[in-house]
């Protein structure tokens, strides 16, 4: 069973349907026990880093994610759901308002992309490591991105990269913990392949 963590973010219906194409049972939940026991947990997320963290903290989602990480239970963060796995986010911060603390699975800061046009919106390519599990069979494909902030330093065991104005981390595979900055559930058939590659590890 796959659980999609519901902590108040917008369109979860597409994510649910996309993961259901693998034939798996998919539930959308904010229940701690269900999220902890699921074979795979998907952490979606749209909006801003800070509002997402607030939503996540309200359901104890940070503890759920840390516990799954320490027990090596498969977890996949998507878009802001990837960003909040890092230790810090700079979105909506300024001199008087320091960075927002993330879940902290990985040490690193999510900062604004240096690009003339933001958000980075649309289909872009990903440079994935040769032995990547997520990108198996779809190594040179494009995926759908919508974001203005990103992590720029390598973390975890395997990192995939994409360029928009500068190079940023477009996916991380770190044992049981995986994350994509793009939306596999919105990336057509190649996105569904990535989802199957992930559910194949459960």
Partner 1 sequence: MSLSIRIIPCLDVTDGRVVKGVNFTNLVDAGDPVEMAALYEKEGADELTFLDISASSSDRETTLDIVRKTADQVFIPLTVGGGIRSVADVNQLLRAGADKISINTAAIARPELISEIADVFGSQVLVLSVDARRAKTVSGFEVTTHGGRKGTGIDALGWIESACNLGVGEILLNSMDADGTRQGYDIEMIEAVRPITPVPLIASGGAGDLEDFARALDAGADALLAASVFHFGVHRIEEVKRYLSQAGYSIRGVSNQ
| Residues identified as active-site | 79, 183, 185
- Angle separating helix axes 49-58 and 61-70, nearest 10 degrees: 80
Q: Is 39 helix (H, G, I), strand (E, B) or coil?
A: coil
Shortest CA distance to 89 belongs to which of 48, 123, 142, 42? 48
- For the CB of residue 83, give the shortest distance to partner 1 in the complex, in Å: 12
Q: Which is nearer to partner 1, 68 or 186 (CB)?
A: 186
CB of 142 to partner 1, least distance (A): 5
Would you give the DSSP letter of residue 199? H
Q: Considering the complex, what minimum distance in angstroms separates the CB of residue 197 from partner 1?
A: 15
Residues that bind partner 1 (CB under 8 A): 10-11, 13-14, 17-18, 46-48, 51, 116-125, 142, 144-148, 163-164, 183, 185-189, 191-192
C-beta of 36 vs 48, nearer to partner 1: 48
Q: What are phi and psi of 111, to 5 degrees?
A: -125, 170
CA distance 69 to 103: 11
Based on CB atoms, which residue is closest to partner 1, 44 or 108? 44
Q: Is residue 52 classed as helix, strand or coil in its secondary structure?
A: helix
């Amino acid at each position: 069973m796959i659980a999609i963590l519901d902590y108040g973010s917008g369109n979860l219906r597409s994510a649910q349907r996309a993961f259901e194409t693998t034939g798996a049972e998919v539930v959308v939940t904010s229940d701690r026990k269900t999220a902890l026991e699921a074979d795979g947990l998907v952490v979606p997320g749209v909006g801003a880093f800070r509002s997402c963290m607030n939503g996540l903290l309200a359901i104890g989602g940070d503890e759920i994610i840390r516990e799954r990480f320490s027990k090596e239970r498969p977890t996949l963060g998507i878009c802001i759901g990837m960003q909040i796995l890092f230790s810090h986010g700079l979105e909506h911060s300024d001199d008087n308002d320091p960075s927002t603390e993330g879940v902290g699975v990985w040490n690193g800061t999510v900062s604004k992309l240096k690009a003339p046009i933001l958000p980075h919106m649309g289909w872009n390519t990903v440079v994935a490591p040769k032995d990547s599990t997520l990108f198996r069979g779809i190594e040179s494909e494009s995926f759908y991105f919508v974001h203005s902030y990103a992590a720029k330093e390598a973390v975890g065991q395997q990192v995939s990269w994409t360029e928009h104005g500068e190079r940023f981390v477009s996916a991380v595979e770190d044992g049981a913990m995986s994350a994509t900055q793009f939306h596999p559930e919105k990336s057509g058939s190649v996105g569904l392949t990535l989802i199957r590659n992930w559910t194949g590890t459960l």
